[in-house]
Chains A and B, each alone.
Chain A
């Protein structure tokens, strides 16, 4: 199941995925062949680089397969202490594409253990070329400047679609403004007790600043 930096060939398999979604996923991967950074090959049995998990009850789970990265269909799943990457159902090609790109980067970074818990850590404020592509990206970067977040958290806290967050993170990694880390403890300082959350919401409401999205600044 190894994927070398040179070849960038990766394997994937399914567990608990419905037959229909298996076909859809494979066909999307086939359609994307040559467009993604990694080359993805389906593997029926054994360990793989990526394991696609179906929603509970969607299909028959496949025994004890392990993988470096787990991609779940439906809401993010928690496996032990690890949070998986996820895809919405029904499957959409653009989201599958974004996740394949993200997973390939995770694998390329040689994470020593399953990278499903990867958080995005901003290393520096991103380039103007990147940020000017979309005004929402400044807000995503501002969120990441405070502390590392998983993609799921970034999408949740920003109100920006996961696929767009994914694309942004991929671009950050490409320009080396960010890196992927394992989950870190959340730093909480005295100045940010939970009760402050309500205060910030009240300040936003008073000034007419939306909590999510960027309606005001469009």
Chain B
């Protein structure tokens, strides 16, 4: 049985676990522990990875992995990125420096972004409008990256599907 994977990454508390849970066929496996980071208003945080999956009609399995958010787990990012179909980056716009956050993921997943596809979902834009999507586009342009960047509420399944749709469109379009 063939297996494939899509990776979800982003800052701690951005909503990777939620994004996976709203599209996964099965209850996602989470490796959350009690949060000890006093700067984050969140009871638990992911230290290993989140895991959800889709059982496709062909018998194939699409694994959805959420990376741990904190940069100290960056070694896990590369392990999880190996062989991934593409990358979904979820950014929390309420954090102090969301564009700096984004740069961390663009840098650490540069090879995956270059070789596959990437889409960026910016969360909590309703309460935190700045930076806006044009700022994100400008930031990506400065890094030499062109990929979709949209506002997203990861609690809404349709919006997470939109992220996946845009990712698939890129992947499909790289084929002849």
Chain A residues at the B interface, C-beta cutoff of 8 Å: 122-128, 138-139, 141-143, 145-147, 149, 157, 186-192, 194, 196-200, 202-209, 216-217
* CB proximity of A197 to chain B, nearest CB, Å: 6
Say which one of B8-16, B39-47, B55-63, B95-103 lies at the interface with A: B55-63
- Assess the B175–A192 pair: CB atoms within 8 A: yes
**Contact of B140 with A by CB under 8 A:** yes
Residue of A nearest to B170 (CB): A146
Q: Are B169 and A146 in contact (CB under 8 A)?
A: yes
Question: Per a CB cutoff under 8 Å, which of B115, B116, B148, B164 touches A209?
Answer: B164
Chain B residues, Cβ within 8 Å of A189 = 115-116, 174
Question: Complex Cα distance A149/B174, Å?
Answer: 10
Give the shortest distance, in Å, between A209 (CB) and chain B (any CB). 5
**Bound CA span A203–B85, Å:** 12
**What CA separation (Å) do A146 and B54 show in the bound complex?**
25
In angstroms, Cα B162 to Cα A141, docked, is: 13
Q: B173: which A residues are within 8 A, CB to CB?
A: 143, 146-147, 149, 157
Residue positions of B touching A, CB distance < 8 A:
4, 23, 54-58, 60, 62, 85, 115-117, 119, 132-134, 136-138, 140-141, 146-150, 158, 161-162, 164-166, 168-176
Pick from A128, A197, A217: contact of B172, CB under 8 Å: A197
Contact B175–A188 (Cβ < 8 Å): yes
- Point out the residues of chain A lying under 8 angstroms from B172, CB to CB: 146, 157, 197, 200
Of B134, B138, B170, the contact of A142 (CB 8 Å cutoff): B170
- State which of B119, B141, B174 has its C-beta within 8 Å of the C-beta of A147: B174
A sample of 8 cross-chain residue pairs with beta-carbon separation below 8 angstroms, ordered by A number, consists of: A139-B169, A142-B119, A199-B4, A203-B164, A204-B165, A206-B56, A207-B23, A216-B161
Q: Which residues of B contact A146 (CB under 8 A)?
A: 117, 169-174
B117 touches A206 (CB 8 A): no
Task: For B168, give its contact among A122, A126, A200 (CB under 8 Å).
Answer: A200
Do residues A124 and B176 form an inter-chain contact, with CB atoms below 8 A?
A: no
- Given A202-B56, A203-B54, A128 and B134 touching (CB < 8 A)? yes
**A142, A190, A208 pick with most chain B CB within 10 angstroms:** A142
Determine if B140 and A187 form an interchain contact, defined as CB atoms under 8 angstroms apart: no
Choose from A141, A188, A204 the contact partner of B174 (Cβ within 8 Å). Answer: A188
B176 contacts across to A, CB distance below 8 A = 186, 188, 194
Closest beta carbon of chain B to A112's beta carbon, Å? 25
